[in-house]
Structures are given as structure tokens and as C-alpha cells.
Structure 1
Amino acid sequence: MTAQRTPAIQVRGLEKSYKELRVLRGVDFEVARGSVFALLGSNGAGKTTAVRILSTLLRADAGTARVNGFDVATQAANVRESISLTGQFAAVDEILTGRENLMLVARLRHLKNPGEVADDLLERFSLTEAATRRASTYSGGMRRRLDIAMSLIGDPPIIFLDEPTTGLDPQARIEVWQAVRDLTARGTTVLLTTQYLEEAEQLADRIAILHQGRIIVDGTLADLKRLLPPAKVEYVEKQPTLEEIFLTLVGADRTNGHDHNVRTNT
């Protein structure tokens, strides 16, 4: 029970500089277990640097960070056993099939029955019918879903997703969003970095805005909205957004990675 009450991630006074450039200037935040925490910021704000420190790929200059109860500086091996990191670009082997990619990672993690592990993840991420196709034939959304599926092998309790939808089209982005929702429904903790405001709004239980190396606000979406003056009630005719038009025309069905066009009659 104590472990469940302890935050999945605790960061205090984190600092990092590259020569004269101060990237992180005393960053503090906590991530509750089983939640999605969005670290929001523009390019160069320090989001990836923070994730690299939390995943033990980079050492902080000052401050402390604990992941799954383990100190990232002194208990790096324990931290690595607790996490999985998905970077900004899908790290799949395009020569291998989707199933072969998953089996390869399962074998590297010394898991029993890698075929069963692969088949379960292919089903979870709606990739079963594409299992025997080379990953090079996958769409951007399918490749990203396969990448996230690979990161789940071994059931890590904490996942870092570093700008997971960068470069994806609107339909592929929504596929990835659904994959993230499925993760938290199973109790996985997700730390998501993004520069897309809508992505944070759609997915996050809490949002922290990182600006010029500091967290300038941290709270729920409702908390952030209260920082602005109350909205005035006015009648405005709502027009469909370009994204809504796009998804209606091309279809948003992610079943087995197939696209289904929606035809309209005039």
C-alpha cells in the first residue's frame, strides 16, 4: 500500500547545463502512479533533457530524481528495470516483420514464449493482420504503435514517451493517443513530453509547462484554466475544425491498421 501511495516519479531541484547554456534551472514535479503526466514546452525547453536524466541516460548537475522509488543517480540499474523509453522516432527494424520485431525484443529480455508475447501485443495494438508484413510497409501510425508495443515487453510500470506523435498525420496521431489511453487503463504510468497543446489536453491527468528550464505551472487542465479570467458566455456558431473534416473524409478506423474511406452522397 505504501508503494502505491508513493509517486511513480519524484523530481526535486533538477539542474543541467551544457557549458554556458543552462537547460534545466531547478525543475520540480511529481507523477502519480497510473496517470498520464504531460511535460509541455516548446522546442529547446528542456523536455528531452529531463527525460534523459530520468531514464539514466544523462547525469544531472544538481538536484534529485526518483523513479519507481529508486534514485536515478545511485540506483540506475533498478530504474532501468522499471521503465521503458520511446524516443521521438520509431526504433523498429524495418527489414523484420511486426511479429519478428516483437519477438526479437522478447528474446533480448530473456522472456519465455516470445511468440505468445508478440501475439498478445499485436492483438492489443490492432496489428494482428499486419503481423507478417515487413515494418517498412507500415504507415506512420502503425509503426509508432509497434514501437510502443515493443516498449511494453516485460511489463514496465513506467513508460516515457518523448514527443511520440512528432511528424505523424492527424489520423496516425489519434491512433497513438488511443494506445496511450489503453496503457493507463491497464495501470501503466506515462510521462509524455509534447509541444502539442491539444495532445496534452486530450491525454494528461496533470500538465506541467516547462519554459526556459523551469516549471512555470503544474496542475490539472481545470487548474490551468482557472489561471485565466472567466470566459464570457456568447453565442458562437461552431464550425467543424479542419481536423474533424479530415478524419470524417479519410476515416479514423484503426482496426488492424487498415484505412476505411467514408463516402458522402451529394
Structure 2
Amino acid sequence: MTERKSFPVRIFFDESGKHSEKIHLMGAILIPSTLYELPELQELNEIVRQSDIHWATFRGHGSTRKKIEKIILTAMNHQRLMKMNVISYNQNKIQQDSQEIKEKFADVVDHTIYTKFPERVVYGLIRKYGSHSFVDAQVAIEHDNTYEAKNYDLRRQMFEQLNIQSIYRGENFKLSDVQYMAKQEEYGIELTDLLLGIVRTIIENPNDSTSGKRVKNKLILDLITESDSFYSFLNRVKLYEWGKSNDLIDAPFKNYLDIFLSDHL
């Protein structure tokens, strides 16, 4: 058997969108472990451990903006080795399709969402690395109390199903660890929260009707203007949409990005 080169990676998973919101996203970022441990990037932990930073609640505060810029621009210095996958799914369709099943399976909607989409997001990041390499992934899921209210464990589900997938499909990867991680613990979780929020804003493409929307739009535009690397990273985001059919459809994120930039010239 040919010896395969081990490739350790860190993966950070998050989601965006409450039940009342139209757009629901799940996303994950892959960062090679050797890159993640660089002192330049590890210094970002000092920022996140002293600050409660959320894209959803950002309203333009100067100090928070500077911290967001620091996290993103520092990471983007190494963006060529990072990958991001996002799934946008239609929760209303899942609700509608489950009506005749709910009577016998009350939690079928949550089970459908959390046993299918997280696995697909991460699987897309670690598959097809070639026969001479072997991806060894450690996954961190941003901790959310709602996970504890469910009658299954997302981290165990992801760990078991993706390792099974690797064997079943003859892939060259394993998940060696899947854990929940709290906010303000490591910069990887904060970076994922920020980038997924930015992806969401670009897809929604809001006008400047409120100050909250206006400052987010401006920050994205300023980051793109300041950093060609950030623009390059956004162009490489892999976006899949589920809803119009029962399959994941490849939806080039660059098209959403072009529309956003055109509307905010």
C-alpha cells in the first residue's frame, strides 16, 4: 500500500439565520493546521478573547470595526490556503415536505437539517485530495444552546457519518475530533462567524435604508477595496443552494458578489 502524506487541518463550522428569517446558511472554513498555528494568526486570539464580536450585532462601533478589520485582513494574508463552503437551504420547503411525516416523527425537520446539511458542508472541504495524501481533520462547531435541546448530538453525528462516508466512498480523510467551541475561545470560530455573516449580507444585498445595514455594506466594500486578497477569497467561496429541487445546486457566489458590488458603486 502506498504511503500517504498526512495533511492535518482545522475546520470551523457555523450557521446563520433564525427560524423567522428567509435565508438560512450553514458554512465552514478549512485552515491547514500549520497555517492556523502561525504566531501572526495566533495573536488574533488575544483580540477575540477580550471582545464579544458578532457580525449580526455589528452596528458600526469604531472599536469593533477595527477588530473585525484586523481579524479578516490578517487572515486574508494567507487566504490562498483557506477554503470556505456554504449551503443556503429553504427551511420552508422542509417544513412543507414534512407535514405528513410529523405526526409520527415530531422532530423530523430538525433531524433533516442537522443530519444532512452540516455533513455536506464539511464533506465538500475534505474530499478529493488525491490518493497520495490523507486529510486529518479536527472540527470545531460554534456552540449553540439549541443543540443541547435536540435529542441527538450534532458533533457525534458529524464524527460518525463523515468517517463512515470516507470508508464507503473510498476517500482519503478522517475526522479525528469534533467538538463544540464557545465564542471568544479561538479566532477560527470568530473568523467563520464574520465571513459567514459577510456572505449572508452579500446574498441579501440590502439597501442602505437603516444605519445597521449601511455600516455593514460599507465595511464590506472598504475591506474589498483595501485587500485584493479578500476579494480573491470571496470569489472562491463555494456556495450551494437547496430548495428549488431536492438536490444541492452549485450557485457561483461570484454572481452574488458582482450584483452586490454593482448595486453599491
TM-score tier by shorter-chain length is under 0.3
Length-normalised TM-score, structure 2 = 0.28
More helix by share: 2
Whose RCO is larger (CA < 8 A, sep 6+)? 2
Length-normalised TM-score, structure 1 = 0.27
